[in-house]
Amino acid sequence: MHEGNHGQLPASFFELIRTSEKPVLVDFWAEWCGPCRIVTPTIERLSREYAGRLLTVKVNVDKKPFIAQEYRVQGIPTIMLFWKGEPRMRLTGAYPYEAIKQNLEENWPRDAARSSNGSGSNARARPGSSGSFTPG
Q: Helix, strand or coil for residue 59?
A: strand
114: number of Cβ within 10 Å: 11
Catalytic: which of 24, 26, 33, 67? 33
Contact of 23 with 81, CB cutoff 8 Å? yes
Active site (annotated) includes residue 33: yes
- As a whole number of angstroms, the distance between CA 111 and CA 28 comes to 25
Active site (annotated) includes residue 36: yes
Catalytic: which of 16, 24, 36, 67? 36
What residues act catalytically?
33, 36
